[in-house]
Chains A and B, each alone.
Chain A
Amino acid sequence: MLASLSVVLLLAGAAFFLGGSVGMLRFPDVYTRLHALTKADNLGLGLVVLGLMLQAESLAAVGKLFVIWLLLLAASATASQLVASWAQENGFAPWRG
């Protein structure tokens, strides 16, 4: 039961990683690509981490997975903001559809 729930979560996570990469390839400019990367990949990671937590061998391992996820969440939110403001400062105008 727990194992199958874990598999479902891992598959869902993989789907979002795919979505992030497709967006990264198809989206027209840095800003929109940042959207894809930040949101889809972090959700994918969150689901993968959740799936792995269900299989983890100890409570400490569960906590560690959670801390890694939190850290990556914070890192990637900050990183996306830094890259976006860098692009703005250096005069890269956003694409407008």
Chain B
Amino acid sequence: MQYFYFALILFLLLTLVAGLWRIRRGPTPADRMLAAQLFGTTAAAILLVLAEVSDAPALRDVALVLALLAAITVTAFTRRARISLPPGDDDAR
């Protein structure tokens, strides 16, 4: 059972890394902002599984905080980043 949980965590980490490649590629700042959302959900799932397997319920609180921070990050980004970029500009930012 223990091994199953660790394999699951590893798998989720890999999907997270795959998502990170998109952050590197962009091309728009909005694409990069998807990272916050990806982290919010995937990392929260990883932490929740970790809380179960390592018997550390406090990690659930970390997941909770991560969820809140992800929401705030996206909100802040959409409020602050008002600069209009030409569409399709690959190297913007």
The answer to A–B direct touch (Cβ < 8 A) is yes
Contact (Cβ within 8 A) A68 B60: yes
Contact (Cβ within 8 A) B4 A7: yes
- State A65–B43 Cα separation when bound (angstroms): 14
Q: Which residue of B lies closest to A13 (CB)?
A: B45
CB interface residues, B 1-58, toward A, < 8 Å: 1, 4, 8, 11-12, 15-16, 18-19, 21-22, 28, 30-31, 33-34, 36-38, 40-42, 44-45, 48-49, 52, 57
Chain A interface, >50% SS class: helix
Q: How large is the interface on B (under 10, 10 to 19, 20 to 34, 35 or more residues)?
A: 35 or more
Chain B interface, >50% SS class: helix
Contact (Cβ within 8 A) B71 A75: yes
Q: Of B1, B33, B38, B84, which one neighbours A24 at CB under 8 angstroms?
A: B38
Residues of A within 8 A of B (CB): 3, 7, 10-11, 13-14, 17-18, 20-22, 24-25, 30, 33-34, 37-38, 41-42, 44-45, 48-49, 52, 55-57, 61, 64-65, 67-68, 71-72, 75-76, 78-80, 82-83, 85-87, 90-93
Residues of B within 8 A of A (CB): 1, 4, 8, 11-12, 15-16, 18-19, 21-22, 28, 30-31, 33-34, 36-38, 40-42, 44-45, 48-49, 52, 57, 60, 63-64, 67-68, 70-71, 74-75, 77-78, 81-87
